[in-house]
Amino acid sequence: MMHTTSTERNVVIPMETEESMRHEQTAEAANDVLKSLSPLINSIRPFGLYFTRKPCVPVRVGNTSKPSRRYIRGCYGWNPARIYATIVLVLSWFNALRNCIIFDGTETLGAYLFTKLGTIPGVLLIAILHTTYYIASHNESLEIIFRQMNSSTPGFSAKYRYSQKARAVTVISWLLISFGITAYTYFLFTREHYNDFSLWMIINTFHVSKLCENILKVISTMLQLQATASWAFAHAMNYTVVSFLYDQFDQLNDDFSKCIDDRGKFSGNFGQFRRRHQAISRLVQEADRFLMISNAANFCCQIACIIFVFYIVVFYLDDTVLLDPEYAVVPVSWLSLSVLGLLWTAGLAIHLNQTASIYPCVK
């Protein structure tokens, strides 16, 4: 009886050691990809666009502790990062809704009215983009994609390429944010007519003191920073995810082409290619859980913004661009960024779809 127990221990311990080493290697390798994306991930965390869900306590299974998917006293996933992201999401929607309540009944048909109408789809787009990435973090879709990046893109060169892309889109995003918040702050504190209609209504309705007015302007600037960052980093993350999926399909297509000789004979393992294609397709479905919301919002809201702003610039040129050459940067930048965002979204979707359909025989 004692001999049997000793034998079982000799068998179990190596198995547990091997399994533990395999988990450690997988976690270490996955962390390599997260490190390569750290400039972008660390930038979006403070704005509540990304968080990871963790159980409150681990559940012990045998001699190892594993995360549990069960609710533990109703607090599964409610770590400080998620609580913070939820608070920021509420503030984001508050900022969007306050910018929708900007009509006081004195508007007449003209540039002023159409500027207010164009503001609504813009602020709603930002709140929806923020919600999209909150959902992606809540459903762990982003976490799944980040982990899959490691297993699908081995080698230093691939990780270096992702690191370079992450740095590039992060720098571009911060430049756009800096430009947007600088212009907003400048016009807010130096001009009598504000670019924030909601704030202007509050100041004129309640006749607040100069101190309270400045405090409201500072709060409004912080909310604008959150809104601008949500817009910029959501597009940056869309590019990162779609770029990864594109690389996966492109690599699959290249490997498939190498298995076809000059006479058109296939010499590879067709079943393996089919499994790879199915794995990438499942990853596309995972990404589509949040990208479809983002893309739909981008198309609808940005088209509406383009229509309103273009109408203002063309038919009310004297009341907008020519009225104040310095203030003319606002509608011009607004129109340019809306067109750029629309083309960016359409380009990513078309590029990925075209690459995914090159070799339908793999499906």
Are 238 and 153 in the same domain? yes
The pair of structure tokens assigned to 30 is 């996955």
Which tens digit of pLDDT belongs to each residue from 17-59?
444 444 444 444 445 667 778 889 899 999 999 988 764 444 4
pLDDT digits (tens, 9 = 90+) for 90-130: 999 999 998 888 887 777 888 888 888 888 999 999 999 99
The reply to whether 167 and 280 lie within a common domain is yes
CB 308 within 8 A of CB 335: no
**Does residue 70 lie within any of the structural domains?**
no
The confidence score (pLDDT) of residue 31 equals 57
- pLDDT tens-digit profile of 124-160? 999 999 999 999 998 888 888 877 765 555 555 566 6
Shared domain for 4 and 121, answered yes or no, is no
C-alpha 15/C-alpha 9 separation (Å) is 10
15 & 108 share domain: no
Q: Are residues 27 and 165 in the same domain?
A: no
pLDDT number for residue 228: 93
In a domain, 137, yes or no: yes
Q: Which two three-digit tokens encode residue 27?
A: 């976690």
| 81, 20: one domain | no
CA distances to 165, 180, 223, 244 from 241, in Å: 11, 25, 27, 5
Supply the mean pLDDT for the chain: 77
Do 1 and 46 sit in the same domain of this protein? no
Q: Which domain holds residue 221?
A: 37-50+77-362
In a domain, 223, yes or no: yes
How would residue 284 be classed by pLDDT, with cut points 50, 70 and 90?
Answer: confident
Mean pLDDT of the region 300-320: 85
Q: How far is CA 305 from CA 189, 299, 309, 337, in A?
A: 25, 10, 6, 10
The answer to whether residues 8 and 46 belong to one domain is no
DSSP 65-109: EE---S-STT-TT--HHHHHHHHHHHHHHHHHHHTT----S---T
Q: What are phi and psi of 69, to 5 degrees?
A: -90, -5
**What total number of domains does the chain contain?**
2
- Judge if 306 and 345 occupy the same domain: yes
126 and 250 fall within a common domain = yes
Which of 233, 232, 217 minimizes the C-alpha distance to 185? Answer: 217
Strands 59-61 and 64-66: antiparallel
- The SS3 call for residue 61 is strand
Angle, CA 307 vertex, CA 302 and CA 311 arms, to 5°: 145
Q: Flag whether 248 is in a domain.
A: yes
Under the banding of pLDDT at 50, 70 and 90, the label for residue 172 is very high
Residue 57 maps to a domain: no
pLDDT at 156: 52
Of 270, 248, 244, the residue nearest 259 (C-alpha):
270
Q: Is residue 174 located within the same domain as residue 286? A: yes
First to last CA, the chain: 55
